[in-house]
Chains A and B, each alone.
Chain A
Amino acid sequence: MRRWGLCVSLLSGAALAYELLLLRLFSIVYPYHLAFLIISLALLGIGASGTFLALTRRWLIRHFPWTFSAFAVAFGLGVAASFAVAQKIPFRPKELPWNLAQAFPLMGIYLTLAVPFFLAGTVVGLALTRFAGESHRIYRFDLLGAGMGALGTILFLEILPPYEGLRLHSGIGLLVAGIGLWALGPGKARIVALLAFMLVPVVPMLWPKQWIEPRPSQFKALSLVLRHPDARILAERWSPMGWLVVVDNPSAPLRYVPGMSLTCTEEPPRQLGVYLDGERLGPITRFQGRLEELSFLDCQTASLPYHLLEQPEVLVLGSGGGMEVLRALYYGARRIDAVEEDPQMVKLVQGAFVDFSGRIYAMDNVKVYTGGMRVFLSRSLRRYDLIQISLEASYRSAGAFQASYHLTLEALQDALSHLRNRGILAITQWAQLPPRQSLRLLLTAVTALERQGIDRPAEHVALIRSWRTTTLLVRREPFRSHEVQKIRDFCTHRAFDLVHLSGMRAEEANRHNRLRNPSYFLGAQALLGEDREEFLQRYKFQIRPVTDQRPFFLHFFRWRTLPEILSLKGRGGMSLLEWTYPLLGAALIVAMASGAVLILLPLAFIRRRERADNVVRSGALVVFFLSLGVGFLFLEMAFFQRFILYLGHPVLSASVVISTFLIFAGAGSGWSRRWRALFEKRARSRSPMDIPAAALGILIWAILLLVGLPHFFRWTLGFPLFLRMGMGVLLIAPLGFFMGMPFPLGLERLAPVSVKHIPWAWGINGCASVVATILASLLALQVGFQGVILSAMAMYGMAAGASLFLTKNPPG
């Protein structure tokens, strides 16, 4: 049994690793949200494996373990092959809203990527069916393997690029096949097994690098810049956080001065472009100690706070390549603390480009910290004259449905509490038409001030804009009249516009970078005045502040605006469409429809072929395994996103939360038979209460986390990382443990009465996972993580109820 357990563990670990590697690789090829969607849908392969098994079970089991081994090898080889093929399919995601025919290559990509999931699912499902009486152990190995796979992948990505991981899968597939066939004893099988073992180190090396290396889509910023003559990559770094590339172009240098004043004539010094997963980040700017070369910085809205402060102590959140640190140096900052979440970025500035960047991160008055911004704020006791959230930090890892905790209400409250009395919080963003981000940020700041008991927050905020950027200043004390005048002068000299300033007159708005309607000014006025609520109701975008419970700063979508925007498609209205949201909806429909077909197909087959021994209630079975699949993924996704705040980065959260969930669910699964025995002993007969009791355990722990987590995070966010990781494991482990029980307990109810239903249950669970991943994202956007967790609890409640009706004649 252990032999098969090891095989299942290896395969499940490899399948989860494949999922994580794909997400990493496809984030480089396409935008992240699209990569997420493609891979979520590709997981339908696991659902399809259940259907396939239900239809071909007898034949596959008869030829076990040859079939098991063959599918394992196919999976191993399929991983690299499917990625290579999927990457070749010509797909232009940005054309999709214009041209629905682009949905075909999209479908081609996701179906191609689904093949290895299908093969891995078949292997695990086959083991579950073959060893039906031991399903709790097989499931334990499945989950333990997946958990180890999640953890192993993150560690692997610290050392090697993700595409190298694709190679390894070929070896794992052969290894599993070898172990499986060895079990057959001396003879032909052993020879094949030996051959498989011998090929383990060889086959991974056979994949050409150019097949499996990710190539960013032609529309990504890196692809565009590399087409310029003389452009060359100076450095590249791989890490779990992404692929960092530094590009130089001596003949057509990169120049990055967002929103530079039209009255300025300064040219920036030489800059190197920095790209994360093919998208542009702030540059590394050449600095040779001559501050006068940095005068171009004075042409940006982000420099406003420095005109109000003398030799400030500055905290830069999101220092990246160091542009904001240079700005602070240019204005004579006394002390600069810089926080950057990506250690590779800091290493580049301190290492390969230390001379180019003028050793800015090694200066006496500059201190650099790597880690999450919120974590730094929680840990630091220091107060600053200026906290600057950089333009890049505002958008780093913040897609429309990616959790980002940099600009939530709680984040701004944290930042304000680290300011000295007359200290300023400054946040720069891209300017949009119609205004969305800036208005949301203004309202978030005002709400944060109101929560601190400030009566007239309008006097504590200032918002200005250039033709391309906006900068918001917030402070706990009102701006004084001489400061207000300085802000006016700053804007006048640079042809920037005032959006909001204490005592500002309507005629002062919209003077330099004119809009047809002064929509920024009117929006700010409404948000700071009496009719805020009415304005928020009427505005066609959702611009209420986001919180840690729903940290989607770039999500402005309102369904009611969709028809109007779609009708304006050909008339320049396309930029108004946050198309990822409808795409998420479309993906959900595809997942549900495919899931329904995959679930219903075997049902028809089972009913037609084997009506006689029908003792399983199909309806209850569907509800039970569907609810379990959805509930499991809901909890996993919600806590994964929630722990990004606590651990500082999605990668850390994935490594701790997902692996803990899976490993402890594996432990729970292994323990499930003892759990069942506990109830049988008490009831002195077979009792169906084991599953409801496990569900109760889940509900109790989930409620505890739901209520306690925000407080716990607040108290312990400043703790060292290893402690936080340890506490993350402790918090998640009991939940995972209980979550691992219902599935094998359900299978064991089926095993004695109807083995044929086991692959079907496996498929239903797989389909549910796909639907749940997409649905959890949509739910999180609509109702926040609390809503997702509560929905998961309802799912486990439903599963507990359905478990009582799984079979018509409970075995006894």
Chain B
Amino acid sequence: MRKGSLAGRYVKDLLCLWAVFLFCVSWSPVRGLNRDDYLRLRKAMVQEIRADVERTRKWIGKGELDSRVLEVMGTVPRHEFVPVRLRSSAYENRPLPIGYGQTISQPFIVALMTDLLGVGPEAKVLEIGTGSGYQAAVLAELVKSVYTMEIIPDLGKQAKLRLERLGYNNVEVRIGDGYYGWPEEAPFDAILVTAAADHIPPPLIRQLKPRGRMVLPVGDPFATQQLILVEKGDDGEIRSRQILPVRFVPLTGGPHP
């Protein structure tokens, strides 16, 4: 009898331990951060990107990175574009899940893609794949108007509301298939295709202005394999560049740029 109750106690203890473990697994800390905290974190993030860009810039085919892009990265409240439970991680230099199987890209990659677009204050930009709207917000700070398309209705609606709330009045959000672009507003100075694609839709190339640029990331949303930069010449000729967004030489002792 005594042994029986001993075994029973073991079982009870085990069940308690199990419950504690499952609670720990499913619980993630939500710390309340204030505006100053976010500002500090954002500055730190920009410093990190600046350092990374400094180390990587020669490898990504850019002599200089546009300082305006970094300024904007230091302005846009990234924490507003991530789920509440992930706000404390919003300024970490990593991609974050935003639900619906989508991610908000790593800040370093956002800065790089924005820079590669090479847009000025008067530019009109098309984005395919709005996601949370963060990339659109970054672009909105740099250009005259941003047209962004999202195929997942819930995501598109949330992004639209969020961008409106944050005062990005130069961003138009449309819910729909991005394959045919946004013909009413074409041509565009730049197009960003953040939705992964195995091919670039010809209508998008047509909607690119001469001297326009298109950027698309290739690979997993959590690990951008490469960036493709498509450039349209004055004569309409298309050229592309494939950019490994990292300082990595596959050959040991190989040539350094």
Contact = CB atoms under 8 A, between A and B. Distances in A.
A320 to B, nearest CB: 15
Contacts of A252: 151, 176-177, 179
A648 to B, nearest CB: 28
Contacts of B179: 252, 255
A539 B251 contact: yes
Query: How many A residues touch the partner, as a band?
Result: 35 or more
Contact of B153 (A101, A229, A523, A575): A229
A380 interface: no
B62 to A, nearest CB: 10
A264 interface: yes
B101 A223 contact: yes
B206 to A, nearest CB: 7
Nearest to A62: B3
A104 B21 CA distance: 9
Interface string A399-439: 00000000000000000000000000000000111110000
Interface in A202-221: 218-220
Contacts of B243: 516
Interface stretch (A92-100, A478-486, A628-636, A736-744): A92-100
Name which of A56, A111, A516 has the most chain B CB atoms within 10 A of its CB.
A516
A99 B94 contact: yes
B4 interface: yes
Contacts of B48: 570
A559 to B, nearest CB: 14
A98 B95 contact: yes
Interface in A9-53: none
Contacts of A576: 246, 248
B14 to A, nearest CB: 10
B61 interface: yes
B202 interface: yes
B56 A572 contact: yes
A266 interface: yes
Given A252-B177, A495-B238, A572-B246, A517 B255 contact: yes
Contacts of B137: none
Determine the main DSSP class of B at the interface with A.
mixed
A229 B56 CA distance: 40
A266 B198 contact: no
B251 A540 contact: yes
Given A262-B200, A515-B242, A105 B25 contact: yes
A98 B248 contact: no
Contacts of B55: 571
Contact of B242 (A107, A251, A467, A568): A467
B101 A264 contact: no
Given A259-B198, A433-B225, A111 B240 contact: no
B101 A218 contact: yes
Contact of A514 (B151, B206, B241, B257): B241
A227 B152 contact: yes
Interface in B159-217: 176-177, 179, 198-202, 205-206
Nearest to B228: A467
Nearest to B51: A571
B194 to A, nearest CB: 13
Interface in B227-257: 228, 230, 238-255, 257
A513 B4 CA distance: 74
B202 A98 contact: no
Given A255-B179, A515-B242, A540-B252, A568 B108 contact: no
B220 A94 contact: yes
Given A570-B108, A571-B246, A573-B246, A513 B94 contact: no
B93 interface: yes
Contacts of A515: 241-242, 244
A539 B253 CA distance: 10
Given A105-B25, A574-B222, A568 B94 contact: no
Interface residues of B, number: 72
B26 A90 contact: yes
B198 A258 contact: yes
B77 interface: no
Given A257-B198, A514-B239, A516-B257, A98 B225 contact: no
Query: Which of A89, A467, A577 counts the most chain B CB atoms within 10 A?
Result: A467
Nearest to A91: B25
User: A98, A105, A223 — which one has the most chain B CB atoms within 10 A of its CB?
Assistant: A98
A267 B244 contact: no
Interface string A105-142: 10110010000000000000000000000000000000
A642 to B, nearest CB: 31
Contacts of A554: none
B112 interface: yes
Contacts of A512: 239-240
A262 B205 contact: yes
Contacts of B75: none
A570 B111 CA distance: 13
Contacts of B241: 513-515
Contact of B201 (A255, A259, A517, A540): A255
Contacts of B93: 570
Nearest to A229: B153
A59 B240 CA distance: 73
Contacts of A667: none
Most chain B Cβ neighbours within 10 Å, of A98, A251, A519, A571: A571
Nearest to B89: A99
Contacts of B225: 432-433, 575
B218 interface: yes
Nearest to A469: B198
A697 B244 CA distance: 55
Nearest to B28: A101
* Residue in B95, B218, B248 with the greatest tally of chain A CB atoms within 10 Å: B248
B199 A572 contact: no
Interface in A568-624: 568, 570-577
Nearest to B252: A538
B143 to A, nearest CB: 24
Given A228-B177, A267-B202, A495-B239, 5 more contacts: A98-B222, A220-B101, A433-B244, A435-B250, A570-B93
8 smallest beta-carbon distances between A and B, as pairs: A252-B177, A572-B245, A260-B199, A434-B250, A218-B101, A572-B246, A574-B223, A108-B25
21 contacts: A89-B25, A94-B222, A218-B100, A218-B101, A223-B101, A227-B100, A258-B199, A262-B205, A263-B238, A432-B225, A435-B250, A513-B242, A514-B239, A514-B242, A517-B257, A540-B248, A540-B250, A568-B247, A568-B248, A570-B52, A572-B52
